[in-house]
Amino acid sequence: MSLLTAVGVLFGLAFALNTLLQVIRRAPRIGFVHVLLAFLTALLPLVALVAGALNAEDTAFTVGTARALAALLGAAGLLAVLLELRRPERLKASRGLLSLGVAALLALVTLTVPATATALLVTPTPFRLPTVTPTAPVTATLMPSPSPSATGTPTATRTPFPTETPTSPVFATRTPSPVPTLPAPCGAVVNFNLNLRAAPSTEADVLASIPFNTQLELFGRSVDSGWWYTVYEGQAGWVLGEFLTLDTVCAALPVREVTPRR
């Protein structure tokens, strides 16, 4: 961002100097080089401000530099207008008015771009999976058996006939086969509208379009970690990693082999 600002200042100084020289020489037409310098002077600070707003960087230096450059171009443009009023063509094909227009555009950019970024840009919040705390195992406590109490003189009692208590038959059960489990997923947030593709390639078929700020669960990655395997609304596919905000544990996901489609 600072490099773009510095290059924009250099083009602005060249534009202001070329404006005064051409007015002093009384050149009849505005040439291509002069128009190109005016375009680059206005464009580069604008690009620097937009890039800084998108990356959530401090744009105070760029704003201050752009405003200082706008003041310089305004002064050069005003001086050029005063000199052009003394020529026969007066303000026809005026370089001074062009310089004043570029200065006004720079001043407007320094006001609108930071305000628009503050009002519209949304910083995505990284998605984190809830942590499951294992519970302590429940241990069974055996109740003590009652101890026999002392009795007095035994008395004759009727002995009941023994009764048989039916027991339920015990059947042998098969040991269930182990079920393969997917790797534990990690969380990610979509920074822009993103395509879900059938393979980790920009030429693969598009299965769905995932909206901005959607939270995803990732289950695997490509060899170079440029693509990530996910499931969105029942569709399993791949998303490009440069448009995701990844959780810190995503680097531990296993590499997923891609089966070629027949």
Query: Angle 60-84/32-54 helices, nearest 10 degrees?
Result: 160
Give the C-alpha separation, 216 to 239, whole Å.
Answer: 10
pLDDT value of position 237: 94
pLDDT value of position 171: 41
Give the C-alpha separation, 140 to 261, whole Å.
Answer: 55
Query: Within 10 Å of residue 256's Cβ, how many Cβ atoms?
Result: 17
Give the C-alpha separation, 20 to 12, whole Å.
Answer: 13
Closest CA to 122 of 31, 189, 40, 196: 189
Domain ranges of the chain: 2-120, 186-252
- Divide the 262 residues of the chain into consecutive groups of 10 and give the mean pLDDT of each group: 79 87 80 86 83 73 84 89 79 82 87 74 49 50 49 50 48 41 82 92 93 93 93 93 91 83 52
Element (H, E) at 206: strand 206-210
pLDDT value of position 197: 94
What's domain 186-252's superfamily in CATH? SH3 Domains (2.30.30.40)
Question: pTM of the entire structure?
Answer: 0.41
Q: Is 47 exposed, middle or buried (0-12, 13-18, 19+ CB in 10 A)?
A: middle
How many residues are present in the chain?
A: 262
3-state secondary structure of 72: helix
pLDDT value of position 106: 83
The alpha carbon torsion through 189, 236, 200, 249 (nearest 10 deg) reads 40
pLDDT value of position 190: 94
pLDDT value of position 230: 95
Q: Are strands 227-232 and 235-240 parallel, antiparallel or unpaired?
A: antiparallel
